């Protein structure tokens, strides 16, 4: 018996749209990370990128539970002495709401070259509109 290993020509990538309006941040991130990794496919392998493209819309309307809106902190460092920045959830949401979902999904992907290629297939938009209508229509028409 031989172990099945999918090749690049066997992988069929699809486009998925996730509407984050009113949904919990963690639930949206889990769903997006699973689709990016390809865990919903029968041919899933941890060492091969079999995942799909994911579009997350309405990132500005994502919900969090408890006191996270005021107490959750997103640390980053410039690399220079005294370069630590510590904005809260509200501050990051006001500046760029896309970073909230991108940060959560990045934390759920592998930290290697495969994880970086998976992360590049993620598109996050603050509003309901996105420029990927052509890919979605083309993919829907080709699945006959």
| Model confidence pLDDT, tens digit, residues 31-40 | 999 999 999 9
Q: In whole angstroms, what is the distance from residue 14 CA to residue 95 CA?
A: 31
Tell whether 4 is covered by a domain.
no
Tell whether 88 is covered by a domain.
yes
In 28-140, DSSP assigns E strands to: 53-57, 76-77, 84-85, 122-124
Tell whether 105 is covered by a domain.
yes
CATH number of 58's domain = 3.90.1180.10
Report pLDDT digits (tens) over 46-80: 999 999 999 999 999 999 999 999 999 999 999 99
Tell whether 106 is covered by a domain.
yes
Residue 119: how many CB atoms within 10 A of its CB?
15
- For residue 69, give its domain range: 14-127
As for how many domains the chain has, the answer is 1
Tell whether 5 is covered by a domain.
no
């Amino acid at each position: 018996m031989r172990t099945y290993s999918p090749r690049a020509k066997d992988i069929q990538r699809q486009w998925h749209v996730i509407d984050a309006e009113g949904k919990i941040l963690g639930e949206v991130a889990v769903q997006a990370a699973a689709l990016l990794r390809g865990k919903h496919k029968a041919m899933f392998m941890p060492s091969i990128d079999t995942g799909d493209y994911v579009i997350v819309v309405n990132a500005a309307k994502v919900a969090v539970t408890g006191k996270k809106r005021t107490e959750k902190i997103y640390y980053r460092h410039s690399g220079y002495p005294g370069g630590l920045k510590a904005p809260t959830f509200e501050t990051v949401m006001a500046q760029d709401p896309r970073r909230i979902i991108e940060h959560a999904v990045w934390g759920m992907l592998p930290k290697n070259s495969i994880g970086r290629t998976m992360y590049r297939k993620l598109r996050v938009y603050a509003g309901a509109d996105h420029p990927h209508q052509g890919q979605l229509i083309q993919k829907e028409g080709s699945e006959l």
